[in-house]
């Protein structure tokens, strides 16, 4: 059993509501950041349970930033845990948080879970994620529930992530892609092709890892 699952199993504070299969997914994506001083943003504080869980799992010097629309969540602020109250779709609010803190290594979206909230927060915050970082969206089963589909275009986050999986292959939609010059700034591919290393689909979670990709290149040797 990994340490996050152990934390959950031993927690009796009624402040942590998690699907049991999430712990292996977290550990798979986050274990490489353990024992490093990192910065985490979690959208969705609720009763502070997950913030405490991250604190127990990562290095004690790790800076945790919680975002929630509910002012009552401010009470969970501690030494290395800052809480900001506002709406996850409000880009100027998100920008003000970034202005005050280091760029995040991990972003977890466990906020309101509507399609528009998930897509708009991702579009803004992924660009601010550090290279090597992971953006993890929880509860993507909401993509299949009408009450969470609040966009005029009816796009869900799961639909959007499927499009991102095409975008990271944008290199091959260009004619003559084999003759790329070896300078990435001379290649007219999407931002997503340059910066998404992988999109991982799990049961109810989607995780996107950011890297500065190399121009794809193959030769016979
Ligand atoms: C599922 S709970 C978070 C649970 C917490 N991460 C945990 O694991 O213990 C979702 C939280 O998102 C917050 N929320 C809902 N809509 C939001 C929005 N538009 N912006 C920011 N937070 C929002 C709610 O107030 C609620 O506290």
Closest by CA to 95, choosing from 65, 57, 124, is: 124
Q: To test the ligand 1 pocket, which listed residue (13, 45, 64, 94) has its Cβ within 8 A of the most ligand atoms?
A: 45
Model-level pTM? Answer: 0.96
Quick check: is 110 in a domain? yes
Chain centroid, CA 62 distance in Å:
17
**110 touches ligand 1 (CB under 6 Å):** yes
Q: Which domain holds residue 93?
A: 3-210
Examine residue 216 and state whether it is found in any structural domain, yes or no.
no
Q: Which atom of ligand 1 is nearest to the CA of 18?
A: 8
Strand, coil or helix: 42: strand
Ligand 1: centre distance to CA 100 (Å)? 21
Is residue 71 domain-resident?
A: yes
- Contact 66/50 with Cβ under 8 angstroms? no
Tokens of 177: 């892609």
117 lines ligand 1 (CB under 6 A): yes
pLDDT tens digits along 126-182: 999 999 999 999 999 999 999 999 999 999 999 999 999 999 999 888 766 666 655
- What CATH number does the domain containing 184 carry? 3.40.50.150
Q: What is the pLDDT of residue 172?
A: 84
Phi, psi of 108 (to 5 degrees): -120, 125
Answer yes or no: is the C-beta of 199 below 6 A from any ligand 1 atom. Answer: no
Domain contains 139: yes
Question: Which residue's CA lies nearest to atom 4 of ligand 1?
Answer: 46
CA distance linking residue 128 with residue 57, whole number of Å: 23
Q: Which atom of ligand 1 is nearest to the CA of 48?
A: 9
Q: Distances in Å between the alpha carbon of 3 and those of 26, 73, 122, 134, 192?
A: 10, 25, 27, 19, 33
pLDDT at 186: 67
| 220 domain-assigned | no
pLDDT value of residue 189: 86
Q: Does residue 217 fall inside a structural domain?
A: no
Number of folded domains in the chain? 1
Amino acid 145: pLDDT: 97
- Mutation test residue for ligand 1: of 69, 85, 109, 125, the one with most atoms within 8 Å of CB: 69
Residue 190 lies in a domain: yes
Residue 123 lies in a domain: yes
Burial label for 155, CB within 10 Å (0-12, 13-18, 19+), is middle
In this model, does residue 16 exceed pLDDT 70? yes
For residue 21, the Cα-to-chain-centroid distance in whole angstroms is 18
Whether 34 has a pLDDT exceeding 60, the answer reads yes
Cα gap 65→181, rounded to integer Å? 41
- Is residue 183 very low, low, confident or very high in pLDDT (cuts 50, 70, 90)? low
65 CA from centroid of ligand 1 (Å): 13
């Amino acid at each position: 059993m990994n340490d996050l699952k152990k934390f959950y199993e031993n927690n009796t504070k009624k402040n942590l509501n998690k699907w049991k299969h999430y712990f292996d997914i977290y550990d798979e994506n986050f274990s490489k950041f353990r024992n490093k001083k990192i910065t985490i943003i979690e959208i969705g504080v609720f009763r502070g349970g997950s913030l405490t869980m991250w604190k127990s799992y990562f290095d004690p010097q790790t800076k945790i930033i919680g975002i929630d629309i509910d002012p009552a969540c401010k009470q969970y602020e501690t030494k290395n845990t800052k809480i900001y109250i506002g709406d996850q779709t409000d880009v100027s609010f998100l920008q003000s948080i970034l202005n005050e803190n280091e760029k995040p290594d991990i972003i977890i979206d466990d906020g309101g879970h509507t399609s528009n909230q998930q897509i708009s927060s991702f579009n803004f915050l992924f660009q601010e994620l550090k290279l090597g970082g992971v953006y993890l969206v929880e509860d993507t089963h909401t993509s299949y529930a009408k009450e969470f589909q609040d966009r005029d275009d009816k796009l869900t986050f799961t639909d959007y992530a499927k499009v991102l999986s095409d975008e990271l292959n944008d290199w091959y939609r260009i004619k003559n892609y084999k003759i790329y010059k070896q300078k990435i700034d001379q290649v007219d591919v999407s931002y997503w092709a340059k910066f998404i290393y992988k999109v991982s689909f799990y049961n109810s979670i989607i995780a996107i890892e950011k890297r500065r990709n190399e121009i794809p290149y193959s030769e016979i040797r």
